[in-house]
Structure 1
Amino acid sequence: MSNLKIRLTVMNFLEFFVWGAWLISLGGYMIVTLKFSGSEVGSIYATMGVASLFMPPVMGIIADRWMNAERVLGICHIIGAILLLFAAQVKDYPTMYLVMLLNSMFYMPTIALNNSVSYAVLHSQQIDVVKFFPGIRVWGTVGFVAAMWVIDLGKWTLSPVQLYVSAAAGLVLGFYAFTLPACPPSKVRGAGSFSARLGLDAFVLFKRSRMAVFFIFAMFLGAALQITNTFGEAFLHDFASSYPDSFAVKHPSILMSVSQISETLFILTIPFFLKRFGIKQVMLMSMVAWVLRFGLFAFGNPGEGFVLLVMSMIIYGMAFDFFNISGSLFVRQEAHGSILSSAQGLFMLMTNGIGAFVGGTISGWVVDYFTTGGARDWQNIWLSFAGYALILALVFPFVFRYKEKETLASTI
């Protein structure tokens, strides 16, 4: 069993290493090195949202019905790696947009496939998935952080080398996936329909007003997440002229990685906060944390305001986990019977699909609005985003009418 856990740990590590090598730093590379506009960078990041609308269910159906899941995972990573190798040589916006859209179409499904393969392999060996998978999955976050550190310490945050590193890891994982235990298609044809995987079966939840409100806010907060992924490092790079020797400018990816480290720690606090305050208050805390995330960026700098930058990184863990993880538990509680899986699919559709697309697109417009002669007014940019999150926090308690139930605590 230990050998099997090690093999799945390697798979999870590489899965998110591939993403971490460019997700946070690519925005800075495109703005500073390629001189793309904010809206162009935002639209390229929004391709992940576009791809998440339809490709994960399509690949899921292929893995469920026609081809071993580990092979689908491997093929997706190999194709994605080839596309990243091409992207590393691209200098113009239209071509970069197309290549990154195609890459997103093959990478985004692998997140779900990675979980599916892990579950199937553990289950086939009669290993307790609930007990052992979290300890395996946490190495995915470690891989993401490790990739950020490699790119930073290699001084590649403003270089296409980050795409080569990601592509190399993708090729390794692509071929490695073919060595994993077989995860054959299910023989049950009626399960996992296309509509269920898209989350369409769960749209019945919109008939309940509190769930409709919840999913709408899930979309808005999904947009907030995309903002920091897109422009966090670009913001730090713009201090190069005023703080050239600062840690934040020399090692932006390492500083940004504190956000992911914080995320892993805040996950551990969710059971306490849910039982003590309830889902409504926890989700409200997440929105207030987003206000602080953006507000601290607005007034922070690599000099005397460095502590504000660090605080912003730390608060990110609460902003992300207290809605995404707690929200998933809430959906699990509210959806019953045959729509449990499709309800989770709908939650992901609203956050990683529509929310990511909206966040990437609108944040690009905001950055362009506050850009004059190539100089970006980051304070007003971040204050605009903080104002956006503040509006959500002020409106949410009044429109989300929900009384806590004991059942939520029992799901933790």
Structure 2
Amino acid sequence: MAAIDGTIAGGARPAAGMLTARLSALMFMQFFVWGAGAVTLGLVMQTVGIGDLIANAFSVGPIASIVGSFLLGMAATRFLSPKMLMVILHLVGGVLLFILPGFINPEGGSTFVWLLLCYMILYMPTVGLANTIALKSFGERVDRFPFVRAFGTIGWIAAGLIIGWAGLSASPEIFRVAAVVSLALGFYSLTLPNVEADAPSDGSLVRQVLCVEAFGLLRQRSFLIFVTCATLISIPLAMYYAYASPYVGAAGIENVGGTLAIGQMSELVFMFSMPLLYRRFGVKPLLLVGMAAWALRYALFAIGDGGSGLWAVYLGVALHGICYDFFFVAGAIYTQTIAAPKGVNAQAQGMLTLFTYGVGMLLGSQIGGLLYAQLPATPTIADWQGMWVAPAVAAAVIALIFQFSFRDDSREGVRG
């Protein structure tokens, strides 16, 4: 039954339809904020003359995932509710977003990167917190999560389309668009279900802050292999987020934001099939297909151009649905399944964010920066093609490692 203070503790939950609508709005705004500020950031920076800082700008998110996951997404949820953390982080973050455009220029480039780091330390933990609120609110009905998460994709699509249609794909004003929605989400979070924070264990405060219980899940071989492969696949993922927009621009496509939104549209299509596919096949086939799709996407980018090969650019972008849904959404559900018996749901989601958006994407951003540094100051489409070969090979190798080493030992528990 519901706890006395109104937190969701057990069986009694808000009416299914109303709960789904509330959580769908949460996901829409959560990913609209990210999409508005991230989809064309590489193009913005290249346009204003600070393209050499793209790798650093896309490294702050991973660094923030590591710092934020420890300080807020994992440790703080032991003592504060996920709901109140969402309120605080999005309101303060919205203020920072309004400030950022004033520093996106050659004179303020370095300051921009530092301010972006501060913002991302606030934002990145909210990804895991939003997942936690939704998954805990649904209880045992985790199969409803992909439907709600689909509205995050719709939010990302809406952000890309609005940015593109408004002619802001190459403008620093993308951050002010994100700021408005961030503030709205901060106030809206006051209305979210007040799910319980992870229950403190009987261990010492140090053990709680260091999230020993969550990291203890890595003693399970299958979960360790999953987290390892998730970290590795995030390395080539980082290159897509950082360099897809200037690559698409180099192919001669003007509406870069709208074009990249095609990827989120395909994500939306596959998102709705996730509950059925997860119940039917389990986690391994979905994760494997997701990783293979990353390899295919980069191979397509390696042959795509602004002429007869333009189809490969569009198809590579459209593969985002399989790339993201089949790996990261299925991975979030799998993590919830592994963590639920230990009662460390929020910590486990934070830990997954730490390894994927943190360690993996930090490595990917820096490796991508090294590859980008080999390109001319104004890369042609031919220059870009060579850059995508390395992530294509890397993703293929990771998929093979996963195929021959991972065994889904949670299959029976998920079917229930």
Contact 1:63 1:185 in 2 (8 A): no
Contact 1:47 1:100 in 2 (8 A): yes
Q: 2:121 aligns to what?
A: 105
| Correspondence 1:294-333 to 2 at 5 A | 294-331=298-335
| Correspondence 1:219-298 to 2 at 5 A | 219-239=231-251, 243=252, 249-270=253-274, 279-298=283-302
Q: 1-side partners of 2:214 and 2:94: how far apart?
A: 34
Q: 1:99: Cα distance to partner?
A: 0.5
Residues 332, 118 of structure 1: CA spacing in aligned structure 2 closer, same or farther, 3 A cutoff? Answer: closer
Residue 51, structure 1, aligned to residue 67, structure 2:
no
Residues 191, 166 of structure 1: CA spacing in aligned structure 2 closer, same or farther, 3 A cutoff? Answer: farther
Q: 2-side partners of 1:102 and 1:20: how far apart?
A: 18
Q: 1-side partners of 2:55 and 2:198: how far apart?
A: 42
Unaligned runs of 5+ in 2: 1-14
Q: After the TM superposition, which parts of structure 1 deviate over 6 Å for at least 4 consecutive aligned residues?
A: 191-194
Contact 1:225 1:320 in 2 (8 A): no
Q: 1:160: Cα distance to partner?
A: 0.8
Q: 1:392: Cα distance to partner?
A: 2.1
Q: 2:55 aligns to what?
A: 42
Q: 1-side partners of 2:219 and 2:231: how far apart?
A: 17
Q: 1:25 aligns to what?
A: 40
Letter in 2 for 1:84: L
Q: 2-side partners of 1:409 and 1:206: how far apart?
A: 19
Q: 2-side partners of 1:258 and 1:78: how far apart?
A: 30
Q: 1:220: Cα distance to partner?
A: 0.8
Residues 410, 177 of structure 1: CA spacing in aligned structure 2 closer, same or farther, 3 A cutoff? Answer: closer
Q: 1:324: Cα distance to partner?
A: 2.0
Q: 1-side partners of 2:212 and 2:49: how far apart?
A: 40
Letter in 2 for 1:385: P
| 1:219-265 residue CA offsets vs partner (Å, 9 max, x unmatched) | 111222222111111111223xxx3xxxxx22111111111121222
| Correspondence 1:314-393 to 2 at 5 A | 314-331=318-335, 337-338=341-342, 341=345, 342-369=347-374, 371-375=375-379, 377-393=383-399
SS at match of 1:157: coil
Pick from 60, 79, 85: which aligns with 2:92?
79
After TM superposition, the structure 1 stretch with the greater mean CA deviation from structure 2, 259-268 or 222-231, is 259-268
Residues 10, 363 of structure 1: CA spacing in aligned structure 2 closer, same or farther, 3 A cutoff? Answer: same
| Correspondence 1:40-189 to 2 at 5 A | 40-60=53-73, 61-62=75-76, 65-66=79-80, 69-90=82-103, 91=105, 92-116=108-132, 130=142, 135-178=147-190, 180=191, 183=194, 189=200
Contact 2:283 2:408 in 1 (8 A): no
Q: 2-side partners of 1:274 and 1:132: how far apart?
A: 11
Residues 54, 313 of structure 1: CA spacing in aligned structure 2 closer, same or farther, 3 A cutoff? Answer: same
Q: 1:273: Cα distance to partner?
A: 5.2
Letter in 1 for 2:55: G
Q: 1:345: Cα distance to partner?
A: 3.8
Q: 1:175: Cα distance to partner?
A: 3.4
Residues 305, 113 of structure 1: CA spacing in aligned structure 2 closer, same or farther, 3 A cutoff? Answer: same
Q: 1:246 aligns to what?
A: none
Could you tell me the percent identity over the aligned residues? 26
Q: 1:353: Cα distance to partner?
A: 1.6
Contact 1:329 1:408 in 2 (8 A): no
TM-score by length of 2: 0.81
Q: 2-side partners of 1:405 and 1:185: how far apart?
A: 25
CA RMSD of aligned residues (A): 3.4
Contact 1:330 1:408 in 2 (8 A): no
| 1:149-178 residue CA offsets vs partner (Å, 9 max, x unmatched) | 000001101101111111122223233434
Letter in 2 for 1:23: A
Residues 71, 333 of structure 1: CA spacing in aligned structure 2 closer, same or farther, 3 A cutoff? Answer: closer
SS at match of 2:388: helix
| 1:26-82 residue CA offsets vs partner (Å, 9 max, x unmatched) | 111112223321xx212211211111113245335546535x654432322222122
Residues 98, 348 of structure 1: CA spacing in aligned structure 2 closer, same or farther, 3 A cutoff? Answer: same
